[in-house]
């Protein structure tokens, strides 16, 4: 078996890392293809270095752009790269434009593409990610669903690919790095609050809307526990454009910092009192026993419903009074995080994914479902 592993953004690097290590462990040849959707050091390089990943075999330099521009550029370069090297299997992870480009270009060029983290659905068509997930799931040959619920979503849509339930590789990553993070991270030395909550926000449907962005800043300003906020570059740019950056920087309740590496972020998640976020991956990580945090999801919907069912996540919307009512209630009740195991698995998602891939290669050859 030879594998092309495609990634392009921060969460894909983190969640693909366990898959890459599993391929290395089993001496399965692979090529690592980085689309370059994320290119800043603190969104990309730092994760290769910290996680101990090999350098990508190729960097496609796609960069930023409109939805179509970014997806189309990535498709063209991915198609060329796959045809030049002819892997037996292509793997994509998650719901970014890189994923849609990899799934579509790979499948149409005749490769069997596996979608890691398949079957998530927010049913919110304002999200570019909802299109990416749905479309990727319908062209991929192998669908690695984190949970039975995700697999059920895929069955309901009658996808053509083969479905496997594996858990989420983010739990593998958390388990692998949480101890190392503790010994290596010095982030707490620079945090000015003895007790803090951790905040991130970057979803397009939130931060690109200046009214929602303003609401978020009001929520952070009024948070009963002071806020540590690693700002995504998309959001930093929008805060500057709407003249809110200076105000936030001067707030005594908010400490703005640049995006941090995985060791620092794991440390911040472990030490914070609760999390406010619109991130997808952070909702999952909060359920890992080593993190176990309450997450207030600053969105109207979530595709991570399992985290809501386990009691870790609460979808609170974006309206300040409503969000703060939920947070204040949690704080007044003593900020007790749920002590249940993660619905996203035990940390063996990468092992299961590669086991399934190997048996598929052995059993069916490459021409199953017309994919070759
Ligand atoms: C993308 C994904 C989102 C994922 C997020 C992870 C899509 C549609 N969105 O969102 O699903 O949750 O990555 O963080 O694929 N920028 C930089 N430096 C970089 C990268 C981006 O400054 O290295 C800035 C640029 O101004 C760019 C903006 O951030 O226009 C948005 O970047 P983009 O990759 O389009 O989307 P994200 O918001 O990062
Ligand atoms: N993360 C990080 N540093 C940060 C913010 C997030 O390492 O400053 C990690 C976080 O632990 C998680 C991933 O990045 O694993 C989530 O990425 P993001 O929220 O950008 O994307 P999403 O999961 O929403 O697609």
User: Is the CB–ligand 1 distance for residue 233 below 6 Å?
Assistant: yes
Q: Which residues are catalytically annotated?
A: 202
Same domain, 7 and 155: yes
- For residue 143, which phi and psi values (nearest 5 degrees)? -120, 110
Dump pLDDT digits (tens) for 6-60: 999 999 999 999 999 999 999 999 999 999 999 999 999 999 999 999 999 999 9
Dump pLDDT digits (tens) for 196-230: 999 999 999 999 999 999 999 999 999 999 999 99
Q: Per the domain annotation, does 279 fall within a domain? A: yes
Whose Cα sits closest to atom 34 in ligand 1? 37
Same domain, 204 and 242: yes
Q: Per the domain annotation, does 172 fall within a domain? A: no
Instruction: Tell me how crowded residue 1 is: count the other CB atoms within 10 A of its CB.
Output: 17
User: Is the CB–ligand 2 distance for residue 128 below 6 Å?
Assistant: no
Dump pLDDT digits (tens) for 272-285: 999 999 999 999 99
Q: What mean pLDDT comes out for the span 223-247?
A: 97
User: Is the CB–ligand 1 distance for residue 9 below 6 Å?
Assistant: yes
CA 233 remoteness from chain centre: 16
Q: Per the domain annotation, does 338 fall within a domain? A: no
Instruction: Tell me how crowded residue 341 is: count the other CB atoms within 10 A of its CB.
Output: 12
C-alpha 194 – ligand 1 centre gap (Å): 31
| pTM of the predicted protein model | 0.98
* Tally of domains within the chain: 2
Whose Cα sits closest to atom 22 in ligand 1? 233
Q: Per the domain annotation, does 129 fall within a domain? A: yes
Which domain range does residue 318 map to? 182-332
Report the atom number in ligand 1 closest to the C-alpha of 67.
Answer: 8
195: domain CATH number is: 3.40.50.2000
C-alpha 147 – ligand 2 centre gap (Å): 20
Q: Contact at 8 Å (CB) between 264 and 50?
A: no
């Amino acid at each position: 078996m030879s594998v092309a592993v495609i990634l392009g953004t921060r969460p894909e690097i983190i969640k693909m890392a366990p898959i890459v290590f599993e391929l290395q462990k089993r001496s399965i040849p692979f090529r690592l293809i980085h689309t370059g959707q994320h290119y800043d050091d603190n969104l990309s390089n730092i994760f290769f270095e910290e996680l101990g990943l090999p350098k990508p075999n190729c960097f496609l330099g796609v960069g930023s752009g409109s939805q179509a521009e970014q997806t189309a550029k990535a498709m063209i370069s991915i198609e060329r790269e796959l045809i030049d090297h002819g892997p037996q299997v292509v793997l994509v992870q998650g719901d970014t434009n890189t994923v849609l480009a990899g799934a579509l270009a790979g499948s149409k060029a005749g490769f069997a593409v596996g979608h890691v983290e398949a079957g998530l659905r927010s049913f919110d068509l304002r999200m570019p990610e909802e299109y990416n997930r749905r479309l990727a799931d319908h062209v991929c040959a192998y669908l690695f669903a984190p949970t039975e619920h995700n697999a059920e979503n895929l069955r309901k849509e009658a996808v053509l690919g083969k479905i496997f339930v594996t858990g989420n590789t983010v739990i593998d990553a958390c388990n692998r790095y949480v101890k190392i993070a503790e010994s290596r991270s010095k982030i707490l030395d620079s945090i000015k609050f003895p007790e803090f909550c951790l905040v991130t926000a970057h979803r397009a449907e939130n931060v690109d809307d200046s009214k929602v962005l303003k609401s978020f800043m009001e929520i952070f300003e009024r948070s009963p526990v002071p806020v540590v906020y690693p700002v995504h570059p998309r959001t930093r740019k929008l805060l500057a454009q709407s003249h809110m950056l200076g105000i936030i920087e001067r707030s005594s309740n908010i400490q703005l910092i640049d995006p941090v590496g995985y060791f620092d972020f794991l440390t911040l998640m472990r030490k914070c009192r609760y999390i406010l976020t619109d991130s997808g991956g952070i909702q999952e990580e909060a359920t890992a026993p080593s993190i176990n945090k309450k997450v207030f999801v600053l969105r109207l919907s979530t595709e991570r419903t399992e985290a809501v069912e386990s009691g870790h996540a609460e979808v609170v919307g974006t309206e300040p009074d409503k969000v703060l009512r939920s947070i204040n209630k949690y704080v007044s009740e003593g900020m007790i995080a749920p002590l249940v195991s993660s619905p996203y698995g035990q940390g063996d998602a990468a092992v299961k994914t590669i086991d399934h891939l190997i048996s598929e290669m052995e059993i069916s050859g490459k021409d199953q479902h017309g994919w070759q």
